Structure 1
Amino acid sequence: MSPRALEYSPADPKLALSHFRSILQFETDCSDVQADLADGTAEFVLLDVRGAARFAKGHVDGAICLHHRDLTEANLAKWPMDTVFVVYCAGPHCNGADKAAYNLSRLGRPVKIMLGGMTGWIDEGFELVSSKALQPA
């Protein structure tokens, strides 16, 4: 009996390198976002794309509340076109971050998804803050 994990041979390392580099161009993780926010090296705008009520109950400190449906040219006009956005939603059971990334990409904006969203943030043991949600301009 052969191992299930090796039922399909691993990819050639050069192909794997290309594949995993591609994935990392689209995604980041909670730990890297938290570290960048903590040490002041965050060269991105962190968007909580869930909505005002959920944002007010708890969010990542430093995040801006902008629902994925509100990602329009008008609401993004205050940021230069080359601004990188990192988006998150509730977690793996939610596709709000995917919708936000789609909308930002459609508008020609660079974007990454923070894997795990709120669920991942909490699982990592990072703190949340509560506040009044910021509304789109």
Structure 2
Amino acid sequence: MTTARTLTVPAPAPDAAVKYFGAELGFEVDPDDLVRDLDAGRTDGYVVVETRAPEAFAQARIPGAINLPYRDMTPDSTAHLDTDLVYVCYCESAQCNAATKGALKLAELGFKVKRLSGGITSWIAAGYPVDGTTAPGIRCAC
């Protein structure tokens, strides 16, 4: 009997899966969880960070987000940030890695970070609220 492609590599033991998926959830938040928190006013403990360029931030951003382009992250540009908070980084989409670069830079600077799955493109596709000009053609702009 031929093994299904899906099972060519066996699934890990449950304890390994708990470690892996638990870690994954520690690194990312999905748009639905974030919008539910924002709608309920549960914003204590974290800041949403747009990691693309200012023109992208002006075009479309998650309400309440701050703009901190990953290219500009330095000890000086982040000195005003609270090290007790978690910084939820996002960018254009899963095809853009500005959020990953921003999260990495913030972590290197000693901040706790998460990344928003799917970026602003997934946020908009889900119909969640956006501030900015919302001009068509959301792009990477990192």
TM above 0.5, yes or no, is yes
Deviation of 1:13 (Å): 0.4
Partner of 2:98: 96
**Residue type at the aligned position of 1:15:** A
Partner of 2:56: 54
The reply on whether 1:107 has 2:109 as its aligned counterpart is yes
Specify every segment of 5 or more residues in structure 1 that has no aligned partner in the other structure, as ranges: 132-137
Measure the CA separation in 2 of the matches of 1:119 and 1:7. Answer: 33
Partner of 1:74: 76
- What's the CA shift string for 1:1-52, capped at 9, x where partnerless? 3211111111100110011111111111111111111111122111001111
Deviation of 1:124 (Å): 1.7
Q: What is the identity percentage for the equivalent residue pairs of Structure 1 and Structure 2?
A: 35
- Normalised to the residue count of structure 1, the TM-score between the two structures is 0.90
Partner of 2:37: 36
**Residue type at the aligned position of 1:57:** Q
- Count matched residues: 131
Measure the CA separation in 1 of the matches of 2:9 and 2:84. Answer: 40
**Residue type at the aligned position of 2:36:** A
**Residue type at the aligned position of 1:52:** P
Which stretch shifts more, 19-28 or 75-84? 75-84
**Residue type at the aligned position of 2:84:** D
- Normalised to the residue count of structure 2, the TM-score between the two structures is 0.87
Q: Higher helix proportion, which one?
A: 1
Q: CA RMSD in A?
A: 1.2
3-state secondary structure, aligned to 1:76: coil
The reply on whether 1:2 has 2:28 as its aligned counterpart is no
Which stretch shifts more, 92-101 or 118-127? 118-127
Deviation of 1:79 (Å): 2.4
Measure the CA separation in 2 of the matches of 1:50 and 1:64. Answer: 11
Partner of 1:135: none
Specify every segment of 5 or more residues in structure 2 that has no aligned partner in the other structure, as ranges: 134-142
**Residue type at the aligned position of 2:35:** Q
